[in-house]
Amino acid sequence: MDEVECVVVGAGVVGLAVARALALSGREVLILEGEDCFGSWTSARNSEVIHAGIYYPQGSLKAHTCVRGRDLLYDYCQTHGIAHHRCGKLIVATDDTQLPALQQIAEAARRNGVDDLHQLSAAQAVELEPRLSCVGALLSPSTGIIDSHAYMLSLLGEAEAHGAVLACRSRVTGLRWSAEGCEVCINDEAQPLLRTRLLINSAGLAAPALAALLEVLPAEHVPRSYYAKGSYYTLAGRAPFSRLIYPVPEPGGLGVHLTLDLAGQARFGPDVEWVEKPDYRVDQARAEGFNEAIRRYWPELRSDALSPGYAGVRPKISGPDQPAADFLLSGPAQHGCAGVINLFGIESPGLTSSLAIAELVVEMADQAEQGERG
């Protein structure tokens, strides 16, 4: 049986960031990915937005890692030549009843350390974006967009330059824990192919199911999976806005918002559809709901302007009738299973938070190793 110091399961953006950080710390790292290439699931189906850290509860991991990760990510983009644009965004109230919500968002953002928001009147917002319809807005200048594929490619390249290895088509189908380490079965092989002293479960949508393979892991430390599907529609023609446009948030998500890619193409989404299993089809019947939501802040939208784009599924650990769950980083100090670190519920703002999450994982790995030596 092969021995490897660290195994990272999942080559999405967070898994790659973690692998890079572990490799930079001098560890031997193997990345196991079940698909044909990295970033095939959640990381390939998002808005590619660099979030400012506005919405999350004070003191939460989402708030901390988003604000910290945002700064790390902009620095990374600049030093590694990753295409990005700090375009800013407007959070808009479309009727007077939503104005108190804008104030609450601004106050929550300040508590999280986001101190660059600007409260705008309707006239000021329309001066920035003449085709916008609103009664008030918040301007977030530190929100941006990124080429997420180039970012993941850079993370992988840097990890590999420091000795990490990516093994695709290597689906983890069994885990056995022992005092010598965690034994890993791949692609339904009956016997483990390798043993590792440190296993990082960064499997995204499959993270709870992967953790459940470890029989020694207490069941109360394996959360239930919930799947929030979000569809995106693309806009034909020139984008009507130069900034991202977000409505006041809705339960389960941030509302149908407008984002831009680096080529200037506008897309709208995601909406929120709770599903029993991941499903990436875009239902054309949902277009009318998109039209209705978008016209609240862009009344000029034509009924035939939207085309089905793509869908993503968020790996949530809270359901539709529950408060939104925080990121959950669970290591030996929490669950008592030495050498295992689980990353649960890593959804939005996971891309923005990726480098900050990687920092925390390295800290947890260091603490776990010190505990073993102690």
Residues 334/348, Cβ–Cβ less than 8 Å: no
121 vs 136: CA distance, rounded Å:
5
372 vs 329: CA distance, rounded Å:
19
Per-residue confidence (pLDDT) for residue 372, from 0 to 100: 67
Length of the chain: 374
Phi-psi region of 124 (alpha: psi -120 to 50; beta: other; left: phi over 0): alpha
In which element (H, E) is residue 293 found? helix 287-295
Sign of CA dihedral 43, 47, 49, 52: negative
Residues 3/138, Cβ–Cβ less than 8 Å: no
The closest alpha carbon to 345, from 366, 371, 319, 365, belongs to: 319
In which element (H, E) is residue 329 found? strand 328-330
Per-residue confidence (pLDDT) for residue 102, from 0 to 100: 95
In this prediction the pTM is: 0.96
> CB count, 10 Å around CB of 302?
10
Spans of the chain, pLDDT less than 70:
251-253, 371-374
Residues 140/52, Cβ–Cβ less than 8 Å: yes
